[in-house]
Structure 1
Amino acid sequence: MAREVYVDQDVCIGCGLCESLVPAVFRLNDAGVSEAYDQEGADEKSVQEAIDSCPVNCIHWR
């Protein structure tokens, strides 16, 4: 993946939608919010789908 994805954990509500869409990139951490733990886990198109699906718009490209 050419770009890096990150999750604004102050905004994340921990719904798990990104994890269910792209489990190779996203997971819920011990605090119950999402994190991007594997930048190379999926292609940009799949990650973009998770970004577009996030109900609180907390996933972004850097």
Structure 2
Amino acid sequence: GLAANILHAVFAAHSGIPSIALEVLEGNDRAMAFYRKHGFEVVDRRAASHGAEGHASLIMRKLLSRA
């Protein structure tokens, strides 16, 4: 779908870097499943006091292959 196409465009635009990370609100299972499907793994957790908009969040990272 559209979200996957946008994500793959981001990967292509950043192909020269070793990894890409993003932040997802904890409990947003749909987003987490989408990112896991595309190779992201949870690498850190931010408490509500340091997370996005005052909510606990998870940092997810994907290693990008170097071409």
The TM-score with structure 2 as length reference comes to 0.30
The structure where strand makes up a greater share of residues is 2
The TM-score with structure 1 as length reference comes to 0.32
The structure where helix makes up a greater share of residues is 2
